[in-house]
Amino acid sequence: MPVRIPYQPLSMRSGELEATRVSADQRTVRGVLARYAEFLPISDATPALSLAEGDTPLLPAPRLAQWVGVDDLHLKYEGANPTGSFKDRGMVVAVAKAIEAGSTTIICASTGNTSASAAAYAARAGIKAVVLLPAGKVARGKLAQAVVAGATVVTLDGNFDQALAVARDLARDYRVALVNSVNPHRIAGQTTAAFEVCDVLGDAPEVVALPVGNGGNVTAYSEGFRIYKAASRSTRMPLFIGAQAAGAAPLVHGAPVEHPETVATAIRIGNPASWTSAVNAVRSSGGEFSAVTDDAILQAYHAVAELEGVFCEPASAAGIAALRIAVRAGRVASQTQAVCVLTGNGLKDPDRAMPESFSAMALSPDAAALADRLALAPRS
């Protein structure tokens, strides 16, 4: 049975805009499908789905640059996407293409962010989402997002890798579309982040550091920079630093990890689905995979918040930690122009930000008493 969706194909949309003389205001055509249509696998038959994903800030980070040890550091703040992570870029393409192909239900396994994104885009498009989560290992904010968007939330007694195996089996044998990053439409959508970085900087940066779980995102960045270079929109390929948590670092060890463990639950993945393409992306760039301890991850997590006012989730900070280690070891020169990709918003996992020992200064509402305790200087 055909699905009824409230979206016109993209081509009709732009025709309508012209016909009604609506100004070509970016606000009416936001989202990666509209913005980067020429580089995406979409056609007139693809529904113009959007939550206005993409176009995220590329923030200069001079204070964090000093802490990391490089001259020029920018943060690609993917936490500004509609569901708070980079997954939205690929999910909008995957869901639009699934609908185009006649699907009415999507499925994914997830450490959290993919499920939040899948749930939101399914809701937006009026189709069903089923999300398979490793029990007890998903940050509460992410779980809340899947629940509030009306996804069918299933927890499995197992880790992400086992959940993904089940999702793949279901998508192979039943009428349900898989929207994990093994779906090439996910990767295609995520290439747009690399386009944006080039569009803002005027070229590709020298170094890109980012967290790696399944390896989908590093694959997409590599592909995106390659596409832009081939289209003469940039002139070089960056060197990639792929950060893995020390307790979940299969790409560093060169072998799957049976029981991955890390505070950065987003990248608690032992057998990356995009293993080969991730290795090719990093190796061909002259870069490296790096294992960073949970302590180093949390140190970087606090540093980016305290030095730049940017709140990311722990996994996202792994890229910063790995870049700092590479600079200190002399493998990346300090005169480098680097971009750290902050893949997810810190609000997803607020418990992590609050030390158990934290207690606010509790005072009575009395200005003079507060001024005294805060050691404020009087105005005159």
Positions touching ligand AN7 (CB under 6 A) are 85, 110-114, 181, 211-217, 266-267, 313, 315-316, 343-344
Minimum CB distance to ligand AN7, residue 313 (Å)? 5
Cα-based distances in Å from 175 to 104, 106, 178: 8, 9, 10
- The amino acid sitting at 10 is L
Cα within 13 Å of Cα(13), Cβ side: 20
User: CB of residue 374 vs ligand AN7: minimum separation in angstroms?
Assistant: 36
Residue 375 contacts by C-beta under 8 Å, 6 or more apart in sequence? Answer: none
In sequence order, what E strands does 239-373 have?
239-245, 288-292, 337-342
CB of 139 to ligand AN7, least distance (A): 9
Identity of the residue, 47 or 216, whose beta carbon is nearer to ligand AN7 in the bound complex: 216
The nearer residue to ligand AN7, 10 or 118, going by C-beta atoms, is 118
114 or 192: whose CB is closer to ligand AN7?
114
DSSP-assigned beta bridge partners for residue 288:
241
Q: Which residue, 70 or 315, has its beta carbon nearer to ligand AN7? A: 315
Cβ closer to ligand AN7: 100 or 313? 313
Is residue 24 exposed (0-12), middle (13-18) or buried (19+ Cβ within 10 Å)? exposed
Could you tell me the smallest distance in angstroms from the CB atom of residue 258 to ligand AN7?
18
d(C-alpha 115, C-alpha 242), whole Å: 23
For ligand AN7, the closer of residues 34 and 281 by Cβ is 281
**Structure tokens given for 283:** 């190796």
Q: Which is nearer to ligand AN7, 137 or 233 (CB)?
A: 137
* Adjacency order of strands within the sheet including 152-156: 152-156, 128-134, 105-109, 177-178
- What is the smallest separation between the CB atom of 12 and ligand AN7, expressed in angstroms? 33
Task: Tell me how far, at minimum, the Cβ of 371 lies from ligand AN7, in Å.
Answer: 42
3-class DSSP state of 101: coil
Least separation, in Å, of the C-beta of 311 and ligand AN7? 13
Gap between the Cα atoms of 277 and 157, Å rounded: 29
Distance of CA 331 to the CA centre of its chain: 26
Q: The dihedral of CA 261, 113, 138, 162: what is its sign?
A: negative
Closest contact distance (angstroms) between CB of 335 and ligand AN7 is 28
Say how far apart CA 300 and CA 245 lie, in whole Å.
Answer: 13
**∠ at Cα 313 (237, 254), nearest 5°?**
55
Q: Of 145 and 217, which CB lies nearer to ligand AN7 in the complex structure? A: 217
